[in-house]
Chain A
Amino acid sequence: MSEVKKIATRESYGNALAELGKEHEDVVVLDADLAGATKTGIFKKAFPERHIDCGIAEGNMMSVAAGIATTGKVPFASSFAMFAAGRAFEQVRNSIGYPKLNVKIGATHAGISVGEDGATHQCNEDIALMRTIPGMVVINPSDDVEAKAAVKAAYEHVGPVYLRFGRLAVPVINDNEDYKFELGKAITLREGTDVAIIATGLPVSESLAAAEKLAADGISAEVINIHTIKPLDEEAIIAAAAKTGKIVTVEEHSVIGGLGSAVCDVVAEKAPAKVLKIGVNDVFGESGPAVQLIKKYGLDADSIYEKVKAFV
């Protein structure tokens, strides 16, 4: 493979916010002392007066964002996924979710690809937490193009949105003219008949590479990119189940409560098919370089290839 461009989706988040700030005066960005890491610093540089640093107090930040939203502005509250969805869960539920306020939560450093900081900072539970909140939209983009489009779509959607971004630079896979981000619409990246790999976020590009290897073995794998986990594109999942009869879900998240669980809910009720869930298997992460951790936890192309081959 030729040298592919790699960009971390947190970088895309910061850049997209700065763009959005230019077009819309009502965009306000909040952070909790992580502007350099979440990349909201890019917005801060362009619009310092509209960047509110709340200091290290994520619960307060979420409720402050809720208060700002009641006045008609559109706040993007930013922190690491661990603290945005984890520490501040109850504030997100009660201050933002229950009154259905127009707050966007920009959660960076999701999953084990946080790397060296280790388990305390590797949030593998945020999708599960966020998708249980009524009315919450949950988006987990796979690359730079999708992440930027997601930020724009989140702004245009009226209501709470959880945006999940990563720390690690990931390959740009969606930079084609046909690319179109539609909230709640799955994107079929590769057609196949033997098995459907349904992936979200960072492992989407790894799943594409795995499908390539499977093809060499004569296995035809469909690859579906689910950027919006809630609302989930049920039609796409039902169609894939009917077409292939075998589904593999791949996510950089616990196998409990994330994309895999959401897909199983649909399949079990509406289109029974065998499902293999690939993700973090009910364990905490650990310190190490992100790329090595992705391999160790079985989310790289080779691991996905092996598991799908054994499953099919």
Chain B
Amino acid sequence: MNKLELMKTANEVRKGIVTAVHSAKSGHPGGSLSAADIYTYLFFEEMNIDPADPKKADRDRFVLSKGHTAPGYYSTLAHRGFFPVEDLTTLRKVGSYLQGHPDMKHIPGVDMSSGSLGQGISAAVGMAISAKLSGDDYRVYTLLGDGEIQEGQVWEASMLAAHRKLDNLVVIVDNNNLQIDGAIDEVNSPYPIDQKFEAFNFHVINIDGNDFDQIDAAFKEAKETKGQPTAIIAKTVKGKGVSFMENQASWHGVAPNDDQYAVAMADLEKVGEALCQK
């Protein structure tokens, strides 16, 4: 996919996020929207996956460590063809396979159940260790929140990943700077994030996580990195694409009402139209 196609796809993913959360009347739009470009790049460009064979043995793995941004994950999987886009409106409803947090047992394309913060990165480390043990070529990607890295387990996992030289592992931190209680540096600052991962012996790349050129360059650099895992610190805008949600901690875990939904979709339609003019 070229950059324009990726941007258009990411915009469709964002519409799916807002639609799913609006339908569910709950869920986490802010961190789903901030990471929509990263999700899109991973599932449409980077990863070796096949929607027709979601469990194929040599597939690249993805673990959503910040499991609450499942709407972003699901919207991306649906648009990639793992399940119908229409199913996104069943999110969080009784009987739906689209659980509030990723459920590997029921959702095509989900490699690991997650939601309890700090645990996903460890599972990704386990997958990467397993690949090394059996000499498999698949790569493992895990997406973390910047608030999530306050969890001690993230650093237990990081220590082990670097110790075992897992160059088949890419850790992405969605650095949108906001968590439930406010700005991450006001709640309990994890900054400097890059230096922390460097100190844990990661290869660290700082990027604008809403810029496909920088995303593309970072993942290519990660692939060329040998002997150590890579951490991509992606500076993003929480709520990206929806005017009234951007940079608002209050939109971490709240669904838009009908009026707000109409505004959000109009915002995204406008972005989509502008992209079509290009």
Instruction: Please give the residue numbers on chain A whose beta carbons come within 8 Å of chain B beta carbons, in ascending order.
Output: 28, 49-50, 52, 54-55, 57, 59-60, 62-71, 73, 75, 90-91, 94-95, 98-100
Contact = CB atoms under 8 A, between A and B. Distances in A.
B105 A71 contact: no
Interface residues of B, number: 32
Give the most central of B115, B123, B126, B157: most A CB within 10 Å. Answer: B126
Given A94-B113, A99-B104, A100-B105, A68 B159 contact: no
Interface of B: 61, 63, 103-105, 111-113, 115-116, 118-120, 122-131, 133-134, 136, 153, 156-157, 159-160, 163
Contacts of B126: 63-71, 75
B129 A64 contact: yes
Contact of A64 (B111, B116, B118, B123): B123
Contacts of B157: 60, 63-64
B119 A95 contact: yes
Nearest to A59: B153
Given A90-B116, A99-B112, A99-B113, A60 B127 contact: no
Contact of A71 (B122, B127, B163): B127
Given A67-B124, A99-B112, A57 B156 contact: yes
A29 B195 CA distance: 32
| Dominant secondary structure at the A interface | helix
Contacts of A70: 61, 104, 111-112, 123, 126-127
A75 B123 CA distance: 12
Give the most central of A28, A60, A65: most B CB within 10 Å. Answer: A60
Given A59-B156, A70-B111, A94 B123 contact: no
A62 B116 CA distance: 13
B122 A64 contact: yes
A91 B129 CA distance: 18
A67 B123 contact: yes
Contacts of B160: 54-55, 57, 60, 64
Contacts of B105: 99-100
A67 B159 contact: no
A67 B156 contact: no
B129 A63 contact: no
Nearest to B128: A67
12 contacts: A57-B153, A59-B153, A67-B122, A67-B124, A67-B129, A70-B112, A71-B127, A95-B116, A98-B113, A99-B104, A99-B105, A100-B105
Contacts of B115: 94
Given A99-B112, A99-B113, A63 B122 contact: yes
Contacts of A100: 105
Nearest to A103: B126
Nearest to A93: B116
B63 A67 contact: yes
Contacts of A91: 116, 119, 122, 153
Given A50-B133, A59-B156, A67-B129, 9 more contacts: A52-B129, A54-B160, A57-B153, A59-B118, A63-B123, A63-B153, A69-B126, A70-B111, A99-B104
A30 B107 CA distance: 29
A67 B113 contact: no
Contacts of B130: 28, 67-68, 71, 73
Contacts of B103: 98-99
A164 B171 CA distance: 35
Nearest to B127: A67
Contact of A49 (B63, B104, B133, B153): B133
B159 A63 contact: no
Contacts of A71: 126-127, 130-131, 134, 136
Contacts of A62: 122
Contacts of A90: 116
Nearest to B67: A94
A73 B111 CA distance: 15
A55 B163 CA distance: 10
Give the most central of B105, B124, B131, B160: most A CB within 10 Å. Answer: B160
